[in-house]
Structure 1
Amino acid sequence: MTHIITIDTGTTNTRVTLWQDHQVLAHEACEVGVRDTAITGNREKLQNGVRNTINKALASAQVDAEQIDLVIGSGMISSNVGLFELPHVLAPAGLQQLARGMVSVTIPEVFSKPIWFVPGVRNVVENIGLHNCEAMDMMRGEEVEVMSVIDQLGITGPAMMVMPGSHSKFVCIDDKNRITGCVTTLAGELMYVITHNTILAQSLDSQFATSINQEMLLAGAQSAQTIGLGRTCFNVRTLDQFTIYERNDRANFLLGAILGADLLTLKNSTAIKMMPGTPVIVCGKPIMKEALAILINNDDYFSGKITVVSDETQAHLAGQGAILVASARGLIK
């Protein structure tokens, strides 16, 4: 019987999963992330948050710390504001490259046993300046999620993984199932700021779209790609003041505008190589992944198969992917 703890730390949250022979025994989360280190200038809050969340998961499953065979950390936990800074591995990077890049560190303030950290992946761009900075991008956390999706869905690349969220990621996979590059946008953060902290807050009741309205979604995307994101956003207020469209309709228009701008990134970014016929796999937050799949499906540029990953499949992507990487390293019998 093998007991494994996986730690997935992001900017604002940490998720800890306790596994027994590839089955989830317990899952706990806390609102502590690397943002806290960036704000306070020290790791104490992050260390305490991770330790307490691990202890909660152990207590929930009635498992003793001594019974744990392996601890794996992925995500922003390996950044310069995480628990231990680990350099990105360079693309192209698949399971083997990620496995070779893993490093074991004991942090007594967090857990008594060593934590194996999974590295992030970055694009290869030399002598970065204004002329080529758009080609540069990096990830910490998405790489293990990508490996899990590839494994669970039996994917053989080339493919494009589309992962909308606070920071939307577009990840390019080659025919050897290696990550060859990625590109990031601030889609979710833009959505949050515009919905809560601008003049549009009143027009949207400070709420996101609660269900998809395809007509409004497509109209917002078309508008953003024609007259720009700033003007399209202001039109949400016009729709509120002078038309009969309801709050959820207006929220869909805004969602379409922001994700429509993301489609321009997907088509034109020099950080990835998107071809019209490349299969697209969409996973991420429920409404956002559904919306992006509709926009891609309705855009003549894209002719490849579109797969939307189910909520059930993506429930524990980070942990499953981290375990796959650890297995490739030979850490799991």
Structure 2
Amino acid sequence: MNILTIDTGTTNTRVTLWRNNEAVCQAARQVGVRDTAITGSAVTLQNGVRETIAAALDKANAGLEAVDLVLASGMITSNVGLYEIPHVLAPAGRAELAAAMREATIPEVCDKPIWFVPGVRNRVDNIGLHNCEAMDMMRGEEVETMALIARLGIDKPTVMVLPGSHSKFVHVDDEGRITGCVTTLAGELLHVITHNTILAGSLDSDFATEIDTEMLLAGARSAGKIGLGRACFTVRILDQFTIYERNARANFLLGAVLGADLLTLKNSSAIGMTPGTQFVVTGKAMLREALALLVKHDDFFSGRILVTSEEQQANLAGFGVIEVARARGLVG
């Protein structure tokens, strides 16, 4: 069975061709829902997704007629995507996501019908200042979570750590259902602080290149004690008045930003974190190692820490959307 999976985010779209549950080839383009938000039109996104599909098929030397099923997930189902579907309310697992899938044909993108998987949001009613912190939502991370559950055999309460521009922490129960999530701007903050603040000179506008455990932990402690803003400025002090080199200073900043995320996990009402909850850490190698070290050295957390390999986290969105489609009966 040949399956095309479309994963569209804020800035990028990735299309993968799967054959007999194996990823055969993939194409990606820098086009996402941000283009719709900026222009007020879906034309750029439509063209970009269509071209990405064509590129993936071209790599496989195959035509659309050879494709048996087209699946899509991510921000493509948002109000600035191609086919809006409301979020599913947590708790939600494969069965709930499968039941909420919708089929649509969009000729500007693909002549074949596309099955879309919706996102998931926390169950919070009558949102106001008194409870808005408990609300959170996702589009795309839900299928990545389903993929991790399947690949790692998760069968106990777990927090999936999905770092990125918007770092996502997803809590699942022992039935493999998403019970809630919490989002931070860690990736964007790290990028902006490194490139667009007074600290750019102290960091040579570059991130840490290898882990410095001492500086990483020091940055996290600093953020937890005196706040993220002051911890960040400490990087300039380290540059002006100490012998610590650039990579050490970059580790201090990384620890401060990620340490602030751990504060979120401890205190956010959006996820209800408990000390003994198991952790699964994904993402780029540097972030995986840094997050695992911070959790390991934080006395609050006592649960098992699983750090994924490159193989385990490869093509998570595509693998996960196929898992959901299988629960719907679309895949044998």
TM tier, smaller: over 0.9
**SS of equivalent residue, structure 1 residue 222:** helix
1:179 aligns with 2:178: yes
Letter in 2 for 1:228: G
| 1:144-193 deviations in Å (ceiling 9; x for gaps) | 00100110011102111111111111111111110000000000000011
- Superposed displacement of residue 284, structure 1: 1.5
- Tell me how far apart the structure 2 counterparts of residues 21 and 89 of structure 1 sit (CA, whole Å): 29
Letter in 1 for 2:86: P
Residue 253 of structure 1: aligned partner: 252
Letter in 1 for 2:15: V
Residue 319 of structure 1: aligned partner: 318
**SS of equivalent residue, structure 1 residue 58:** helix
- Superposed displacement of residue 321, structure 1: 0.1
Residue 216 of structure 1: aligned partner: 215
Residue 78 of structure 2: aligned partner: 79
- Percentage of identical aligned residues: 69
- Tell me how far apart the structure 2 counterparts of residues 186 and 216 of structure 1 sit (CA, whole Å): 22
- Superposed displacement of residue 280, structure 1: 0.8
| 1:232-257 deviations in Å (ceiling 9; x for gaps) | 10111111111111111111100000
Query: 1:51-70 counterparts in 2 under 5 A?
Result: 51-70=50-69
Kept in 2, the 8 Å contact 1:32–1:49? The answer is: yes
Kept in 2, the 8 Å contact 1:165–1:288? The answer is: no
Kept in 2, the 8 Å contact 1:171–1:182? The answer is: yes
Query: 1:171-210 counterparts in 2 under 5 A?
Result: 171-210=170-209
Query: 1:4-19 counterparts in 2 under 5 A?
Result: 4-19=3-18
Residue 23 of structure 2: aligned partner: 24
Letter in 1 for 2:94: L
Kept in 2, the 8 Å contact 1:92–1:181? The answer is: yes
Kept in 2, the 8 Å contact 1:163–1:289? The answer is: no
**SS of equivalent residue, structure 2 residue 124:** coil
- Tell me how far apart the structure 2 counterparts of residues 83 and 210 of structure 1 sit (CA, whole Å): 38
- Superposed displacement of residue 290, structure 1: 1.2
| 1:11-44 deviations in Å (ceiling 9; x for gaps) | 1111110011111111111111111111111111
**SS of equivalent residue, structure 1 residue 280:** strand
| 1:270-320 deviations in Å (ceiling 9; x for gaps) | 001111111111112221121111000000011110000111211100000
| 1:45-81 deviations in Å (ceiling 9; x for gaps) | 1111110010000011011111111111001110011
Q: Structure 1 unaligned segments of length 5 or more: list them.
A: none
- Tell me how far apart the structure 1 counterparts of residues 138 and 289 of structure 2 sit (CA, whole Å): 23
- Superposed displacement of residue 211, structure 1: 1.0
Residue 138 of structure 2: aligned partner: 139
- Tell me how far apart the structure 1 counterparts of residues 88 and 283 of structure 2 sit (CA, whole Å): 24
- Tell me how far apart the structure 1 counterparts of residues 125 and 153 of structure 2 sit (CA, whole Å): 34
Kept in 2, the 8 Å contact 1:106–1:114? The answer is: yes
Kept in 2, the 8 Å contact 1:135–1:272? The answer is: yes
Residue 117 of structure 2: aligned partner: 118
- Following TM superposition, the consecutive aligned residue runs of length 4 or more in structure 1 with deviations greater than 2 angstroms are none
- Tell me how far apart the structure 2 counterparts of residues 184 and 265 of structure 1 sit (CA, whole Å): 9
- Tell me how far apart the structure 2 counterparts of residues 74 and 210 of structure 1 sit (CA, whole Å): 32
**SS of equivalent residue, structure 2 residue 190:** helix
**SS of equivalent residue, structure 1 residue 310:** coil
- Tell me how far apart the structure 1 counterparts of residues 265 and 284 of structure 2 sit (CA, whole Å): 18
Q: Structure 2 unaligned segments of length 5 or more: list them.
A: none
**SS of equivalent residue, structure 1 residue 311:** coil
- Tell me how far apart the structure 1 counterparts of residues 331 and 176 of structure 2 sit (CA, whole Å): 22
- Tell me how far apart the structure 2 counterparts of residues 144 and 236 of structure 1 sit (CA, whole Å): 37
Kept in 2, the 8 Å contact 1:99–1:326? The answer is: yes
Kept in 2, the 8 Å contact 1:221–1:253? The answer is: yes
- Tell me how far apart the structure 1 counterparts of residues 156 and 320 of structure 2 sit (CA, whole Å): 17
TM-score norm. by structure 1 comes to: 0.99
- Tell me how far apart the structure 1 counterparts of residues 187 and 5 of structure 2 sit (CA, whole Å): 25
**SS of equivalent residue, structure 2 residue 37:** helix
- Tell me how far apart the structure 1 counterparts of residues 244 and 45 of structure 2 sit (CA, whole Å): 44
Residue 127 of structure 2: aligned partner: 128
**SS of equivalent residue, structure 1 residue 307:** strand
Query: 1:97-116 counterparts in 2 under 5 A?
Result: 97-116=96-115
**SS of equivalent residue, structure 1 residue 166:** coil
**SS of equivalent residue, structure 2 residue 26:** strand
- Tell me how far apart the structure 2 counterparts of residues 305 and 251 of structure 1 sit (CA, whole Å): 28
Backbone CA RMSD of aligned residues: 0.7
Letter in 2 for 1:160: V
- Tell me how far apart the structure 1 counterparts of residues 276 and 231 of structure 2 sit (CA, whole Å): 29
